[in-house]
Amino acid sequence: MLVDMEGAPVSREAPVLRIDGLSKVFPRRGKPPVRAVQDVGLELRAGEIVGLLGPNGAGKTTIIKCALGLIRPTAGDIAICDHDVHTRHGQAIQHASAVLEGARNVYWRLTARENIRFFTGLHGLDYRSNRAYCEGLLERFGLADRANEPLINLSTGMRQKVAVVSALAKRTQLVFLDEPTLGLDVETSLELRSILRELAAEGQRAIVVSSHDMDVIQDVCRRVIILKEGRVVADDTVESLLGLFRTRSYHLVLRDGPSPDLAGRLGAVATNLSLGRRGAQTELNFTLPSAEGLYTVIDIVRQAGAVIETIAQKEPDLEEAFLRVIRGGDAA
């Protein structure tokens, strides 16, 4: 069982993280101020693993750093386990840990064990009473065999894993992982994702993962928050977000070339229409406002004298959903 610093069991009812009306404006001398985050609100409970997605400059890192008290917000309230982050930082931060700059968050001249010992000590945890837990994490992350080597001798992936272990070893209810797989090779990234999924399945921590890598978020997170220009434009489960597009996007292959007016007639009922040739065949991609619209499309194609070879419902990935939300606000 995950416990807090006083050994009390973690409550699943109260939000572990509560952000309300968060805004951050960075003033700039002689230039207009940068509105990095605007009126963001969210809640996170134990057991949730949430992905923060957004293009560069969307405000992901600013939100995380405000939540950790590293940046002072211009407006809004942030509480971790009911402790205000800015007026009671010590109590709030007892319940939170973070990996902010990946492998740069650890000391390369120290060994993995020394790093873990230092960072848990900094958190007020006596290593002797926490040793079994730390050793378990080292084992789980495949670091046990090389835990006494200075990190400078280890690969980037292993250093990154040490950074994650150093954060997890603090046994906090809330963990922020900012770009945890950045710079990792495919194998290490998959390994780390697998461990994060396991940790999420344990259901005792709330984990916030910020990443540019959609696969990581889709693979690891159940809920995703999409940010655009400092605002939340979508906050839903990954499944719902994908479902929103899955029901409407189609890929259609015609045996022959299209009649001249087909595109025009389809354009009246479908959006995001694209039409291309592959050999003798014609490929159509389109999105419909409702599932029933497919019958109308089939009628239009039949009336145009074309023969349908295949119809497939497109399986959108998170990247596609993300791009649509960012560009058009479909899911907002």
Partner 1 sequence: MNRWVVLRAVVAKSIIELRRYVFNTISGLVTMYVVFLLLFFGARSLGPAFSAGTGLEGLVVGYLVWMMSITAYQDLAHTIANEAEVGTLEQLFLTPTGFAWMGGSYMIGQFLVNLLFTAILLLSMMLTSGRWLHLDLVSLLPLILITIAASYGFGFILGGLALVFKRIQALFQILTFGLVGFVAAPIAQYAWMKLLPLALGNQLLKRVMVDGLRIWELPAGDLLLATGVGLSYLLIGVLIFGYCLRAARNRGMLGHY
Which residue in the set 42, 119, 175, 232 belongs to the binding site for partner 1 (CB under 8 A)?
119
Q: Which of 51, 81, 78, 48 is nearest to 235 (CA)?
A: 51
Q: Is 24 in the site for partner 1 (CB under 8 A)?
A: yes
Cα→Cα distances 7→2, 3, 61, 201, 208, Å: 9, 5, 31, 22, 23
Do 245 and 251 meet the contact criterion of CB atoms below 8 Å apart? no
* Under rule CB under 8 A, residue 302 binds partner 1: no
Q: What is the full DSSP assignment across 159-171? A: HHHHHHHHHHTT-
Return d(Cα 218, Cα 263) in angstroms, integer. 34
Among 126, 145, 187, 292, binds partner 1 (CB under 8 A): 126
Between residues 68 and 137, which has the closer beta carbon with respect to partner 1? 68
CA dist., res. 170 & res. 64, Å (int): 18
Q: How far is the CB of 89 from partner 1 (least distance, A)?
A: 7
Minimum CB distance to partner 1 smaller for 109 or for 327: 109
Q: Which is closer to partner 1, CB of 43 or CB of 114?
A: 114
Whether the Cβ atoms of residue 206 and residue 177 lie closer than 8 Å to each other: no
Nearest distance from C-beta of residue 315 to partner 1, angstroms: 39
Question: Using CB under 8 A, which residues numbered 49 to 108 contact partner 1?
Answer: 62, 65, 68-72, 89-91, 93-94, 96-98, 100-101, 104-108
Count of residues engaged in binding partner 1, rule: CB under 8 A = 40
Which CB, 104 or 222, lies closer to partner 1? 104
Distance between CA 98 and CA 208 in Å, rounded?
9
Query: Taking the CB of residue 133, how many other CB atoms lie within 10 A of it?
Result: 14
Token pair of 176 as six digits: 């922020």
* Token pair listed for 73: 């917000």
Asked if 16 touches partner 1 (CB under 8 A), the answer is no
Regarding 169 and contact with partner 1 (CB under 8 A), the answer is no
Binding region for partner 1 (CB under 8 A) out of 52-60, 120-128, 214-222, 289-297: 120-128
Q: Is 148 in the site for partner 1 (CB under 8 A)?
A: no
**Does 262 engage in binding with partner 1 (CB under 8 A)?**
no
Residues 218-247 that bind partner 1 (CB under 8 A): none
Task: Pick from 16, 38, 80, 117 the residue near partner 1 by CB under 8 A.
Answer: 117
Rounded to the nearest whole angstrom, what is the least distance from the CB of residue 288 to partner 1 in the complex?
A: 44
Q: Are 269 and 296 in contact (CB under 8 A)?
A: yes
Among 42, 47, 81, 123, binds partner 1 (CB under 8 A): 123
For tokens 């973690």, name the residue. Answer: 10
23: number of Cβ within 10 Å: 18
Nearest to 7 by CA among 171, 162, 233: 171
From the list 125, 147, 195, 306, which residue makes contact with partner 1 (rule: CB under 8 A)? 125
Amino acid identity of residue 227, one-letter, is L
Is 124 a binding residue for partner 1 by CB under 8 A? The answer is yes
In a 10 Å sphere around its CB, with 0-12 CB exposed, 13-18 middle and 19+ buried, how is residue 135 labelled?
A: middle
- Contact criterion met (CB below 8 Å) for 159 and 108: yes
Among 2, 110, 304, 308, binds partner 1 (CB under 8 A): 110
Minimum Å distance from CB 134 to partner 1?
13
Q: What residue ranges bind partner 1 (CB under 8 A)?
A: 5, 24, 26, 36, 62, 65, 68-72, 89-91, 93-94, 96-98, 100-101, 104-110, 114, 117-126, 150
